[in-house]
């Protein structure tokens, strides 16, 4: 195995010596530099496996080192050492691409943990570096080739190399947990646990025990020691979904655990160090929650070091067909049935729909349609898409469609139903046959008139209207006409 080498960059000889001794005891080779110029020479000559740099240097800053490495040697992770309380500088370094940061005075045990984790990025073997996304293996991976998804995937690859907390925001059903999992899978923590937790699903009185664990006898019902979520995610990633739902009392305790990188179980006397990366998400606007006093500003800044937006499905319509085919294949495999196909009209309807529920809604629509379709082919009516259009509304800084939007289907894509028999005693209904573009109020009245005329013989009513029996059945349910 190739010996791993760490470059130490600091203008204080005593600090360089202390760090060098620490790394040598870890069995690592070391290089040293006292300024930016010397550091660049060492990097170009030796390509170290890791750089450890002070933030303040005589001829520049640690940010200069971070930016240089991001541009010229992106496979080399870099951690920065900041003065105590210089959180703004640390955040700036993380946003520039730093792997992590440590504060002065340096906590050597935490530094050793950081170095061991960071060196998994570059072990001297290319095969051990984080792998790029492989779209041929969709399970647990993100599908899509639209411009919006290409940007998202590229950003995920960069964020995976860092230890910076990432705040993932996006609408419900857009795939925030999948994005968080992908960051974990591409990170050096990929072999350690990924622990997702829905913060809104934990009762407030059990929340501290769930996060930090508890000792036997610490409260009624604590019959044995219990490990919390932080310990379960040790060396891995903890994903806090719907973090805006955390009560204020728990926000204080979570903030301290993140700052100290240590937790104290309920009823415990000693703190336990934890090495985890925090990812968080919510469909709400955290900025709005902070302004309303529902979310602590200091915790917001801790979680929102890097902000990542997951685009809604309506902003990446190029991916709808790919996702639909993937879900249909998965449904067919789960039900052990022949492959399910989309008709041309059904495919167009999906491409025309706005999907307010995003990817989750697409999957649910196809799941339902697969149970309704005949001959394993989903027709447009099987999709049961709403046909209403409403204006958008703004909540905080996030704009979302308040109701579903479905574009009209071009006449050349609609195959009219041809009645096989005629109905006697025609009225105005037969003079005004239904079309796919009939507005809802007129459509409802026409259906009621046809049903009354045929004494609720649905087959004859469908023939009278010029629609299929299935189309009529769906509209009777839609307008709740069964109760009439």
Q: How far apart are CA 380 and CA 382, in angstroms?
A: 5
Q: How far apart are CA 203 and CA 419, in angstroms?
A: 58
Phi-psi region of 132 (alpha: psi -120 to 50; beta: other; left: phi over 0): beta
H or E segment at 6? strand 5-9
Do 67 and 100 form a contact (C-beta atoms < 8 A)? no
Q: Which is more confident, 440 or 231? A: 231
Mean pLDDT lowest among 150-154, 250-254, 463-467: 463-467
Do 438 and 475 form a contact (C-beta atoms < 8 A)? no
pLDDT band at residue 388, thresholds of 50, 70 and 90? Answer: very low
Q: How many residues does the chain have?
A: 484
H or E segment at 306? strand 306-309
Q: How far apart are CA 252 and CA 354, in angstroms?
A: 39
User: With 90 as the cut, is the pLDDT of residue 391 above it?
Assistant: no
- Tell me, what's the pLDDT at 434? 54
- Tell me, what's the pLDDT at 401? 41
- Tell me, what's the pLDDT at 123? 59
Radius of gyration, CA atoms only, the chain: 29
**Tens digits of residue pLDDT in 426-481:** 444 444 455 554 567 777 888 888 888 887 888 888 888 877 777 777 778 777 78
Residues 252-286 as b or e (16 or more Cβ within 10 Å = b): ebbbebbeebbbbbbeeeeebebbbbbbbbbbbbb
- Tell me, what's the pLDDT at 336? 84
CA 312 to the chain's CA centroid:
11
Please enumerate in sequence order all residues whose Cβ is within 8 A of that of 235, keeping only pairs 6 or more positions apart, or say none.
Answer: 117, 189, 192, 193, 275, 276
- Tell me, what's the pLDDT at 417? 37
Q: How far apart are CA 352 and CA 325, in angstroms?
A: 16
- Tell me, what's the pLDDT at 2? 55
pLDDT band at residue 268, thresholds of 50, 70 and 90? Answer: confident
**Tens digits of residue pLDDT in 5-62:** 999 999 999 999 999 999 999 999 999 999 999 999 999 999 999 999 999 999 999 9
- Tell me, what's the pLDDT at 280? 96
Q: Quick one: average pLDDT of 60-76?
A: 90
Q: What is the dihedral of CA 97, 164, 25, 54, to 10 degrees?
A: 50
Q: Quick one: average pLDDT of 216-220?
A: 82
- Tell me, what's the pLDDT at 82? 85
Give rounded-to-5 percent helix, strand, coil for the chain: 45, 15, 40
Do 446 and 432 form a contact (C-beta atoms < 8 A)? yes
Q: Quick one: average pLDDT of 159-174?
A: 90
Note if the pTM is more than 0.85: no
């Amino acid at each position: 195995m190739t010996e791993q080498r760490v470059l130490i960059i600091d203008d204080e000889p005593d600090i360089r010596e202390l760090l060098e001794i620490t790394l040598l005891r870890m069995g690592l080779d070391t290089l040293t530099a006292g300024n930016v110029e010397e550091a660049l020479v060492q990097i170009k000559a030796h390509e170290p496996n890791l750089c450890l740099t002070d933030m303040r240097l005589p001829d520049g800053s640690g940010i200069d080192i971070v930016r240089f490495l991001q541009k010229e040697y992106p496979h080399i992770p870099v951690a920065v050492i900041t003065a105590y309380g210089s959180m703004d500088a640390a955040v700036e370094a993380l946003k520039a691409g730093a792997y992590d940061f440590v504060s002065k005075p340096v906590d050597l045990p935490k530094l050793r943990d950081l170095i061991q984790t960071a060196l998994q990025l570059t072990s001297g073997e290319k095969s051990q570096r984080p792998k790029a996304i492989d779209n041929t293996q969709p399970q647990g991976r993100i599908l899509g080739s639209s411009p919006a998804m290409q940007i998202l995937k590229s950003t995920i690859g960069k964020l995976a190399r860092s230890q910076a907390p990432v705040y993932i925001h996006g609408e419900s059903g857009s795939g925030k947990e999948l994005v968080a999992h992908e960051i974990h899978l591409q990170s050096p923590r990929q072999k350690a646990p990924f622990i997702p937790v829905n913060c809104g699903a934990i009762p407030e009185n059990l929340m501290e025990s769930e996060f930090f664990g508890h000792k036997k006898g610490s409260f009624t019902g604590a019959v044995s020691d219990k490990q919390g979520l932080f310990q379960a995610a040790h060396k891995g990633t903890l994903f806090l979904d719907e973090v805006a739902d955390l009560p204020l009392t728990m926000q204080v305790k979570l903030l301290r655990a993140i700052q100290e990188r240590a937790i104290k179980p309920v009823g415990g006397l000693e703190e336990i160090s934890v090495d985890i990366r925090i990812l968080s998400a919510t469909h709400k606007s955290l900025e709005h929650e902070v302004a309303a006093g529902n979310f602590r500003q200091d915790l917001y800044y801790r979680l929102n070091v890097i902000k990542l937006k997951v685009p809604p499905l309506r902003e990446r319509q190029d991916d709808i067909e790919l996702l639909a085919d993937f879900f249909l294949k998965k449904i067919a495999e789960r039900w052990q049935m022949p492959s399910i196909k989309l008709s041309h009209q059904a495919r167009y309807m999906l491409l025309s729909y706005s999907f307010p529920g995003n990817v989750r809604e697409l999957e649910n629509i196809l799941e339902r349609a697969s149970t309704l379709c005949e001959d394993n082919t989903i027709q447009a009516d099987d999709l049961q898409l709403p046909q209403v259009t409403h204006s958008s509304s703004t909540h905080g800084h996030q704009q979302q469609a308040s109701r579903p939007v479905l574009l009209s289907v071009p006449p050349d894509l609609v195959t009219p139903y041809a009645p096989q028999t005629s109905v006697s005693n025609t009225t105005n209904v037969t003079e005004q046959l239904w079309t796919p573009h009939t507005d809802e109020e007129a459509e409802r009245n026409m259906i009621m008139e046809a049903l009354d005329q045929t004494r609720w013989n649905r087959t004859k009513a469908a023939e009278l209207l010029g629609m299929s029996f299935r189309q009529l059945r769906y509209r009777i349910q839609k307008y709740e006409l069964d109760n009439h």
